Amino acid sequence: MNPPSFFGWYEILRTRHHWSVLLSIRYALWLARSPNNQEAGRKCGSVDAKPENHGAGKCISATH
């Protein structure tokens, strides 16, 4: 199974996590860029889709 493209990540962030347009574009570009970031995105997608659990960078910053 291939990881999501930029548009796939954008749709996930907008519809499932209710992020703003600009924040979704920013992180979709970041996630689509490298394999390490795609793995981090898969981990974020396993958590429930409540907006308070997916604030700006909460899940993504855990990978640094």
Tens of pLDDT, residues 27-59: 999 988 866 555 666 666 654 445 555 554 555
**Rounded mean pLDDT, 2-17:** 92
d(Cα 8, Cα 53) in Å, to the nearest integer?
20
Asked whether residue 1 is assigned to any structural domain, the reply reads: no
pLDDT at 13 over 70: yes
Asked whether residue 45 is assigned to any structural domain, the reply reads: yes
Asked whether residue 10 is assigned to any structural domain, the reply reads: yes
SS3 category, 52: helix
Asked whether residue 43 is assigned to any structural domain, the reply reads: yes
Asked whether residue 19 is assigned to any structural domain, the reply reads: yes
Number of structural domains the chain divides into: 1
Quote the domain boundaries for residue 43.
6-63
Give pLDDT, residue 33: 85
Instruction: Label residue 64 by pLDDT band (50, 70, 90).
Output: very low
Asked whether residue 56 is assigned to any structural domain, the reply reads: yes
Give pLDDT, residue 63: 43
Asked whether residue 48 is assigned to any structural domain, the reply reads: yes
